């Protein structure tokens, strides 16, 4: 048994298909099949159930898969550790951001960091909060900028920003005459929310339920601008972070504070626990700790 055996086996298990695994690994399908058969012969067990169209792990296969993931991660950590020694103050950080929040929070921070560490580069991608957590957990991203709650068993989280949610309503809506409102007063309103992919969707629904009502959701969207347009069209109200209000200033909308309960939107930097972090990622974490407080 060697690392290559385990690598091929893990990829086939992930893809549940020899052909897809061979395309990802850039290795011929017969070679992969031979490697896995050799592994099965060595362990004297069947690892893959090939009887169905989609390959499944046997009970023994599931055990080997779990251990193989740990072994491959350990090997990757060895290479990363050596690479850190060779390339001090160099590297690439794979950073995930939520749409808009990166623009609101990070330009100055990133500019300052790049000035101090010019040889550390960023690969930045946008995902919803829930997708970001998954990508960080799977190791596709080193760090993620997301919102609470996150699983404390999986992630370490560094607080970045905490702000209140406010109600966004059309200027002709009865709320526009109010400076503040209790959330329970909105039980008969139509809500325009982000889709379930976004943590804010769950935050709003949970707050409404704790205030004694199930919100009536008229529309859902993954686009902030579309939500603003629907509020402008008098199709409902929305709850948004205070920092987002300026985005809608040109529209006929008004922001109203929520007096009870206080609904906080907490932005955090997350990284996976018990996973090796490169010099570059650790340096950025320390930079954030020093400059965000």
Beta carbons within 8 Å of 247's beta carbon, 6+ residues apart: 100, 224, 225, 228
Q: Give residue 291's pLDDT.
A: 79
Structure-token pair, residue 94 = 């794979």
The DSSP code for 246 is: G
Give the integer Cα–Cα distance in Å for 47 and 70: 17
**Fold observed for domain 88-160+267-291:** D-Maltodextrin-Binding Protein; domain 2 (3.40.190)
Q: Give residue 262's pLDDT.
A: 87
- For the chain, which ranges sit under pLDDT 50? none
**Fold match flag (88-160+267-291 vs 162-263):** yes
Does domain 162-263 fall under CATH 3.40.1350.10? My reply is no
Give the integer Cα–Cα distance in Å for 263 and 69: 39
Give the integer Cα–Cα distance in Å for 47 and 287: 46
Could you read off the pLDDT of 233-250 as tens digits, one per residue? 999 999 988 878 877 766
Matching CATH number, 3-85, of 3.40.109.10, 1.10.3470.10, 1.10.10.10, 3.40.50.970: 1.10.10.10
The pTM (predicted TM-score) of the whole model is: 0.60
Domain range annotation of the chain: 3-85, 88-160+267-291, 162-263
Q: Which of 122, 112, 113, 118 is nearest to 278 (CA)?
A: 122
Structure-token pair, residue 181 = 């409102």
- Alpha carbons within 13 angstroms on the beta-carbon side of residue 13 total 23
Could you read off the pLDDT of 15-26 as tens digits, one per residue? 888 888 888 888
Beta carbons within 8 Å of 268's beta carbon, 6+ residues apart: 145, 146, 147, 148, 150, 157, 158, 159, 160
Angle among Cα 161, 224, 102 to the nearest 5 degrees reads: 35
């Amino acid at each position: 048994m060697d690392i290559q055996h385990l690598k091929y086996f893990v990829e086939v298990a992930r893809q549940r298909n020899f052909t897809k695994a061979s395309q990802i690994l850039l290795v011929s399908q017969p070679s992969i099949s031979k490697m896995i058969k050799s592994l099965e012969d060595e362990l004297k067990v069947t690892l893959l159930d090939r009887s169905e169209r989609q390959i499944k792990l046997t009970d023994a296969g599931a055990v080997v898969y779990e251990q193989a993931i740990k072994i491959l991660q350990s090997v990757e950590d060895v290479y990363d550790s050596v690479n850190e020694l060779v390339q001090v103050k160099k590297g690439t950080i794979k950073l995930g951001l939520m749409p808009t929040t990166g623009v609101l929070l990070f330009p100055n921070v990133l500019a300052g960091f790049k000035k101090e560490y010019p040889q550390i580069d960023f690969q930045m991608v946008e995902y919803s909060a829930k997708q970001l957590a998954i990508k960080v957990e799977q190791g596709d991203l080193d760090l993620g900028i997301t919102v609470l709650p996150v699983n404390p068993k999986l992630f370490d989280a560094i607080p970045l920003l905490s702000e209140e949610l406010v109600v966004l309503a059309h200027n002709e809506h009865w709320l526009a005459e109010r400076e503040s409102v209790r959330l329970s007063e909105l039980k008969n309103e139509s809500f325009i929310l982000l889709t379930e992919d976004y943590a804010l969707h769950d935050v709003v629904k949970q707050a409404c339920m704790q205030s004694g009502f199930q919100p009536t959701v008229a529309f859902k969207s993954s686009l902030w601008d579309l939500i603003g347009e629907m509020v402008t069209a008098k199709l409902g109200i929305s709850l948004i972070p205070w920092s987002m209000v300026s985005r809608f200033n040109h529209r006929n909308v008004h922001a109203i504070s929520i007096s009870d309960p206080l609904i906080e939107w907490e932005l955090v930097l997350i990284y996976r626990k018990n996973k090796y972090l490169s010099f570059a990622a650790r340096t950025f974490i320390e930079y954030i700790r020093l400059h965000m407080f």
